[in-house]
């Protein structure tokens, strides 16, 4: 999810621009869209998949609920939901707005006399009946619906029932079910249940740990509204009374918070994603539809710049498949459905989108792997959703120069926000939705933790980690925890990440503050830098006294700048590094691979032979035997002159050194005979001059 608090405070340029150009954009041809959608639907039906046979065609075995719970949630270890079918009649001009029936199927994991579901008490339950048609007793209070089973349902038994209800959602969790009009009266209705909002509009075990194996969402709305939802559109039936029913079936495991609908007066279009030859070689051939439902007065599909428009979804798909592995729902579809919410939400196979920028496209698409296919077992591991989705943005940005501008802005914004992350990355308290979704923590710091791992293991290993994680047999299409991800990181990289996860994810707070001091300890012709690296964070900034992790140091020399990765596991640590040329200064983590204090203090220490001047002169060796040799660095385009004086102040030699080009000018005084003794070497560039005493001790 990308929440509104974030969007608004960001004040995104591209989004502001959208408003100004809406009116001028051309709209795609309606009939082409209708045709595409229709032929897709036919193609799917032609495969002979019966609409109602959900259990027999499940791609995965039913999952067992975990027993992890938030107080007040109906999650239980006694009943494992396998299937939900929501049948909803929606009309925002009517009260109640929702008239619904939800079928729940599952299996008893122990002998049962009651089953509990989450459902807000604002929803009125009319009747609950079992498969036999027998109506079931229930109690509905404190947002819990407790249903008495007809006779004890014993362990291992399948059990199914239908809840018939009505009501108008109250949005106790803001924006969980939103209805309104836009653009001069066109109705819209959309849902955003994450994390606890599902119970406000439909009965379920509203917890990410009990995923159903499939879901069907059948929604009737007044025409000309169109409804988008999870999975494939099985049918779209227009009725004589001016309503239309959209029937969506999704045959993959899904958590309750990812079940959604987005209805509006939409333009529709379907693209076909075809896996590239390179990816097909790795994952097998695949092609599947990417559908777009958008408000026609907004150029959502075409976009308004090279880095906007949902047409870019296919490109992002290709890039993310390359990093994450095959798109997890390739037997069905991916989609974007327009909503009036300004952010986005990764509803499974049909993201709800309030914007058209490449960052939001990439973010919600990345969630299909991280969040949807792999769902946190418990909300405290929310960073496994948002950190990875934010990483997905960055990976897509890297894939095309058109996105460089967005990347520059957002990587700065996200990094700076991550510095404000409070507490540990793993959430200690999941009762406040606002705190849970604080951008600085699960998004910003979550992304930086992944970036740090990438920096430590390198791109290829990092890619292997991501692909292994999404494909892990014991995790795929189920639930994941921080320790599951850590295990994959360790397996693939063959190194321990115990301390790293402790310091950055589970126990540590804050981040390191580095200081570095460099001394030039060259003994010509060998160049060597001694670097003292210190961590200076205080206890009120971080509870970690020493972050134990590799750190990149950049030693700037007279020629090239050298990057070295050093292991750092002490508050103060000294490194001696051989470098090819005179070392001049050091930078800590110049490419920002570590979440660290914004001002990484790089202290530049001049060696004895390097005066603080635009001109620098280095005499070597000194003392020398019979020949004076020195090198000069001067500003580019300067024309320095070298002069040699004896101790009586007489100039005995001079030479123009030519035009400086930024490199070192090496000079050997070999055109005069010099007696042993001391001399004064002066290098001048206009007003600037550097003096050096040079000693010749002659042959012995």
Q: Which is nearer to Zn ion, 54 or 363 (CB)?
A: 363
Long-range CB contacts (within 8 A, 24+) of 535-543: 535/568, 535/571, 535/572, 537/510, 537/511, 537/512, 537/513, 537/597, 541/510, 541/511, 541/513, 542/508, 542/509, 542/510, 542/511, 542/512, 543/507, 543/508, 543/509, 543/510
Query: What is the rounded distance in angstroms from the CA atom of residue 618 to the CA atom of residue 135?
Result: 95
Query: What is the rounded distance in angstroms from the CA atom of residue 263 to the CA atom of residue 496?
Result: 48
Q: Which is nearer to Zn ion, 201 or 388 (CB)?
A: 388
Query: What is the rounded distance in angstroms from the CA atom of residue 605 to the CA atom of residue 295?
Result: 61
Of 211, 84, 194, nearest to 477 by C-alpha is 211
CA distances 488 to 43, 148, 381, 492, Å, are 39, 43, 16, 6
Instruction: Note the Cα 304 to chain centre separation in Å.
Output: 24
Q: Which is nearer to Zn ion, 389 or 391 (CB)?
A: 389
Site string for Zn ion, 562-591 (x = CB under 5 A): ------------------------------
Minimum distance from residue 72 beta carbon to Zn ion (Å):
24
Give the pairing of strands 628-633 and 514-520: unpaired
Minimum distance from residue 593 beta carbon to Zn ion (Å):
23
Give the pairing of strands 79-90 and 98-108: antiparallel
Q: Which is nearer to Zn ion, 98 or 360 (CB)?
A: 360
Minimum distance from residue 362 beta carbon to Zn ion (Å):
11
CA distances 17 to 266, 355, 357, Å, are 22, 11, 11
Minimum distance from residue 380 beta carbon to Zn ion (Å):
16
Q: Which is nearer to Zn ion, 213 or 386 (CB)?
A: 386
Q: Which is nearer to Zn ion, 84 or 437 (CB)?
A: 437
Minimum distance from residue 363 beta carbon to Zn ion (Å):
6
Query: What is the rounded distance in angstroms from the CA atom of residue 228 to the CA atom of residue 261?
Result: 6
Stretch that binds Zn ion, among 1-9, 150-158, 683-691, 692-700 (CB under 5 A): 1-9
Is the Cα dihedral 318, 322, 324, 329 positive or negative? Answer: positive
Cis peptide before 96 (omega within 30 of 0): yes
Q: Which is nearer to Zn ion, 162 or 364 (CB)?
A: 364
Task: Rule CB under 5 A: say whether 442 interacts with Zn ion.
Answer: no
Of 253, 431, 263, nearest to 329 by C-alpha is 253
Q: Which is nearer to Zn ion, 189 or 389 (CB)?
A: 389
Minimum distance from residue 260 beta carbon to Zn ion (Å):
14
Q: How many CA atoms lie within 13 A of 81 on its CB side?
A: 30
- Applying CB under 5 A, the site for Zn ion has a residue count of 3
Of 269, 263, 249, 72, nearest to 172 by C-alpha is 72
Query: What is the rounded distance in angstroms from the CA atom of residue 593 to the CA atom of residue 589?
Result: 6
Q: Which is nearer to Zn ion, 413 or 564 (CB)?
A: 413
CA distances 573 to 428, 666, 693, Å, are 34, 34, 35
Minimum distance from residue 367 beta carbon to Zn ion (Å):
5
Minimum distance from residue 386 beta carbon to Zn ion (Å):
5
Q: Rounded to 5 degrees, what are φ and ψ at 526?
A: -90, 135
Site string for Zn ion, 378-397 (x = CB under 5 A): --------x--x--------
Tokens of 406: 């967005």
Query: What is the rounded distance in angstroms from the CA atom of residue 534 to the CA atom of residue 590?
Result: 16
Query: What is the rounded distance in angstroms from the CA atom of residue 15 to the CA atom of residue 8?
Result: 10
Minimum distance from residue 385 beta carbon to Zn ion (Å):
6
Task: Rule CB under 5 A: say whether 617 interacts with Zn ion.
Answer: no
Q: Which is nearer to Zn ion, 449 or 696 (CB)?
A: 449
Minimum distance from residue 444 beta carbon to Zn ion (Å):
12
Task: Rule CB under 5 A: say whether 1 interacts with Zn ion.
Answer: yes
Q: Which is nearer to Zn ion, 391 or 617 (CB)?
A: 391
CA distances 467 to 47, 282, 317, 470, 476, Å, are 30, 11, 15, 5, 11
Minimum distance from residue 361 beta carbon to Zn ion (Å):
12
Tokens of 134: 């027998």
Q: Which is nearer to Zn ion, 2 or 275 (CB)?
A: 2
What 8-state DSSP symbol labels residue 308? B
Q: Which is nearer to Zn ion, 391 or 488 (CB)?
A: 391
Minimum distance from residue 344 beta carbon to Zn ion (Å):
7
Minimum distance from residue 427 beta carbon to Zn ion (Å):
15
Residues forming contacts to Zn ion in the complex (CB under 5 A) are 1, 386, 389
């Amino acid at each position: 999810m990308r929440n509104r608090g974030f969007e608004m405070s960001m004040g995104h340029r591209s989004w502001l621009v959208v408003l100004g150009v809406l009116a001028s954009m051309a709209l795609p041809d309606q009939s082409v869209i209708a045709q595409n959608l229709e032929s897709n639907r036919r193609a799917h039906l032609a495969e002979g998949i019966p609409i109602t046979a959900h259990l027999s065609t499940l791609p995965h075995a039913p999952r067992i609920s975990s027993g992890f719970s938030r107080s007040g949630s109906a999650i239980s270890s006694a009943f494992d939901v396998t299937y939900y079918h929501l049948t909803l009649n929606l009309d925002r001009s009517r009260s109640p707005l929702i008239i619904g029936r939800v079928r729940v199927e599952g299996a008893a994991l122990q002998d049962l006399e009651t089953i509990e579901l989450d459902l807000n008490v604002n929803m009125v339950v009319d009747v609950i009946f079992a498969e036999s048609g027998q109506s079931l007793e229930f109690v509905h209070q404190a947002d819990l619906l407790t249903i008495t089973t007809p006779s004890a349902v014993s362990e291992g038994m399948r059990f199914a029932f239908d809840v018939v209800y009505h009501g108008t959602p109250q949005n106790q969790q803001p924006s969980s079910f939103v209805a309104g009009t836009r653009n001069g009266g066109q109705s819209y209705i959309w849902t955003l249940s994450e994390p606890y909002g599902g119970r406000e509009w439909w009965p379920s075990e509203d917890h990410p740990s009990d995923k159903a194996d499939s879901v069907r969402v059948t929604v009737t709305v007044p025409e000309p509204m169109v409804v988008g939802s999870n999975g494939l559109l099985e049918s779209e039936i227009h009725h004589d009374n001016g309503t239309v029913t959209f029937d969506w079936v999704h045959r993959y495991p899904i958590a309750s918070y990812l079940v959604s609908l987005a209805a509006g007066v939409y333009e529709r279009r379907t693209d076909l994603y075809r896996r590239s030859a390179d990816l097909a070689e790795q994952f097998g051939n695949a092609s599947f539809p990417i559908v777009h439902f958008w408000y026609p007065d907004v150029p959502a599909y075409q976009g308004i710049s090279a880095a906007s428009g949902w047409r870019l979804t296919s490109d992002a798909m290709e890039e993310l498949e390359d990093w994450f592995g095959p798109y997890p729902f390739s037997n069905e579809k991916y989609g974007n459905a327009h909503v009036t919410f300004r952010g986005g939400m990764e509803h499974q196979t049909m993201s709800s989108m309030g914007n058209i920028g490449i960052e939001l496209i990439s973010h919600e698409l990345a969630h299909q792997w991280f969040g949807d296919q792999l769902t946190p077992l418990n909300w405290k591991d929310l960073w496994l959703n948002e950190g990875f989705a934010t990483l997905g943005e960055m990976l897509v940005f890297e894939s095309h120069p058109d996105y460089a501008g967005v990347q520059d802005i957002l990587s700065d914004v996200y990094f700076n926000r991550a510095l404000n992350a409070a507490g540990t990355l793993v959430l200690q308290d999941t009762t406040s939705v606002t705190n849970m979704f604080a951008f600085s923590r699960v998004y910003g710091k979550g992304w930086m933790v992944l970036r740090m791992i990438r920096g430590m293991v390198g791109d290829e290993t990092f890619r292997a980690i991501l692909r292994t994680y999404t494909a892990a047999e014991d995790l795929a299409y189920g639930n994941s925890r921080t320790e599951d991800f850590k295990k994959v990181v360790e397996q693939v990289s063959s190194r321990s990440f115990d301390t790293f996860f402790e310091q950055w994810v589970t126990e540590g707070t804050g981040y390191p503050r580095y200081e570095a001091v460099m001394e030039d300890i060259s003994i010509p012709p060998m160049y060597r830098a001694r670097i003292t690296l210190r961590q200076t964070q205080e206890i009120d900034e971080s509870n970690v006294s020493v972050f134990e992790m590799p750190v990149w140091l950049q030693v700037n020399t007279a020629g090239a700048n050298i990057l070295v990765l050093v292991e750092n596991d002490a508050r103060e640590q000294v490194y001696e590094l051989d470098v090819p040329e005179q070392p001049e200064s050091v930078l800590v983590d110049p490419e920002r691979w570590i979440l660290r204090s914004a001002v990484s203090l790089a202290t530049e220490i001049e060696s004895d032979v390097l005066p603080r001047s635009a001109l620098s002169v280095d005499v070597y060796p000194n003392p020398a035997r019979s020949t004076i040799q020195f090198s000069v660095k001067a500003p580019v385009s300067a024309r320095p002159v070298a002069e040699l004086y004896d101790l009586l102040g007489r100039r005995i030699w001079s030479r123009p050194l030519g035009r400086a080009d930024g490199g070192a000018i090496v000079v050997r005084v070999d055109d005069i005979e010099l007696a042993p003794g001391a001399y004064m070497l002066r290098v001048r560039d206009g007003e600037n001059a550097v003096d050096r005493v040079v000693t010749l001790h002659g042959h012995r």
